[in-house]
Amino acid sequence: MEYVFGDLWRVQVALALSLAYALLCYLMYRRALLAGLSPQADRHIGTDAKPVWIIYASQTGQAEAIARLAGRALGASGVPVNLRRIDQPWLNEVAGARHVLFVVSTCGEGSPPDHALGFFRTRLAAGACAALRGLSYGVLALGDRSYPHFCAFGLQLDQWLQASGAIAAFPRIDVDRLDAPSLTRWKHALQGLGAQTAVMTPALDTGFSDWRFVGRRCLNIGSPGAPLFKVELQPLAGLLPAWQAGDLVDLIPPGAEGRARTYSIASLPEEGRLELIVRTMIREDGTPGLASGWLNQSAWANDRASLKIRRNPGFNLACGLDTPLILIGAGSGIAGLRAHLQARAQAVAASGKNTPERCCWLVFGERSGRHDRPCHVEIEAWRRSRILTKLDLTFSRDDPITSYVQHALLKNARELQVWVEGGAHILICGSAQGMAQGVDQAMRSVLGGEQVDRLLEAGRIHRDVF
């Protein structure tokens, strides 16, 4: 009987240990399921796991924000993550990486973001890179199908990686203005790499709040072009949030079904309201665009819209009063330039010093000198106070010779050289398809292509083009 009870006790202990182990396994499995992981994916996670590298190229901050959220999603699962901007050192460090993910945007007519131009010229143009052979990679390309070269930089990067012998972990994902189906595919791709995609839910959906329409004023009555309005908005509840010159708003008007439109902020918080300068966009069928039509025509006082303010790193400034500014724009591009001029005027006033010898040079173009002079009262005040050291206005319907801003730059070639030699930063705001292209060509004609590229890489040319 002694042996029987001893065996029975050992059986009970073994059974208890088995049940405890089974319970532990169940709890671990349940935790993995709740985290959106599979037990198989969990086996690859640990302190000795290979890192995932995330490389981004971003002009307005969207690509960077998505890259950082992807890093958070992977990091929440215990996956080591290295995050780098594409022009920072990474190419010689990714050997042995678990995956290398690229989140890149395309600007204007198919160009990479400004800070990626050097990488584009020195790496992609040089052909295949042997260091990438056998590397697992993925590409998320951000773009806008309304431009002829949709996601061109993402496509070129993908082709370069393939030519280098890298292996795609999933097909390239091309995103049209942050469309939801493409971003869902990106989340699924990350989930397949072991990411907790639940932490990505706030990626682009949160941060919106209700704002109320205050009023509008037409800035170009009688213009041969489409109406241009200054629009005022205020938050429905709470204090006015902070922002800085160069920042953007994503606005969802009533009936837009969550599809935001982006505008340059034309004011500073000190004015007590958020102001936009909006051109009415006309569709092919003759109807106004959803957002511009609401802002410029159908909105009444206290009507509501959803709005989110976001940083625009490529168009923010971190330079002092000793840095001259050359501001170039046309049409509704005056919005982003106006905010920077306001900021410079505030900085001069706060310094208690005299206005610098070279402070700001505004080159602005519109259609008619008689009807198209937005913000003319402020511009004239800045000219008198020497905030505007130099002012050049061009009107395409009035002057057949120097009708656009690029012609003004060519006409003032020597002064452009002198300002640039004096350390000036150049800010360009307006249409990507016409104005920005012409300005780039004019600057390359005056300064030389290599110098323009150096200015872009040094962050001395800032573009907010659309």
**Residues 6 or more apart in contact with residue 240 via CB below 8 angstroms:** 234, 269, 272, 273, 274
The CATH number assigned to the domain holding 327 equals 3.40.50.80
pLDDT over threshold 90, residue 291: yes
- Reading the block at residue 105, the tokens are 């945007």
> Does 49 share its domain with 196?
yes
C-beta of residue 58 within 8 angstroms of C-beta of residue 313: yes
> Does 157 share its domain with 215?
no
pLDDT over threshold 80, residue 45: no
> Does 191 share its domain with 99?
yes
The CATH number assigned to the domain holding 166 equals 3.40.50.360
Most confident of 7-11, 13-17, 454-458: 454-458
| Per-residue pLDDT band at 200 (split at 50, 70, 90) | low
> Does 85 share its domain with 227?
no
C-beta of residue 143 within 8 angstroms of C-beta of residue 150: yes
Average pLDDT, the chain: 87
The dihedral formed by the CA atoms of 155, 158, 160 and 164, expressed in degrees to the nearest 10: -170
- Average confidence (pLDDT) over 314-320: 93
* pLDDT for res 206: 63
> Does 322 share its domain with 439?
yes
* pLDDT for res 217: 97
- Reading the block at residue 161, the tokens are 């990686």
For the chain, give the percent of residues with pLDDT over 70. 88
- DSSP class per residue in 313-354: GGG-----TTS-EEEEEEGGGHHHHHHHHHHHHHHHHHHTSP
> Does 19 share its domain with 48?
no
What is the pTM assigned to this prediction?
Answer: 0.80
> Does 275 share its domain with 423?
no
* pLDDT for res 34: 34
> Does 237 share its domain with 355?
no
Segment 318-342, tens digit of pLDDT: 999 999 999 999 999 999 999 999 9
The CATH number assigned to the domain holding 289 equals 2.40.30.10
Segment 332-369, tens digit of pLDDT: 999 999 999 999 999 999 999 999 999 999 999 999 99
> Does 227 share its domain with 107?
no
Segment 86-108, tens digit of pLDDT: 999 999 999 889 999 999 999 87
pLDDT over threshold 60, residue 419: yes
> Does 84 share its domain with 177?
yes
pLDDT over threshold 60, residue 14: no
Query: How many domains are contained in the chain?
Result: 4
* pLDDT for res 75: 93
- Average confidence (pLDDT) over 136-153: 93
Give the residue from 177, 204, 231 where a domain finishes: 204
pLDDT over threshold 50, residue 370: yes
| Per-residue pLDDT band at 199 (split at 50, 70, 90) | low
Amino acid at 400: P
* pLDDT for res 356: 94
What's the domain range around 14?
A: 2-34
> Does 163 share its domain with 251?
no
Q: What is the spatial order of strands in the sheet that 461-465 belongs to? A: 388-395, 360-366, 325-330, 425-430, 461-465
* pLDDT for res 400: 76
**Residues 6 or more apart in contact with residue 1 via CB below 8 angstroms:** none
User: From the centroid of its chain, how far is CA 455?
Assistant: 20
pLDDT over threshold 60, residue 244: yes
> Does 29 share its domain with 46?
no
- DSSP class per residue in 118-151: HHIIIIITT---GGGTT-EEEEEEEE-TTSSSTT
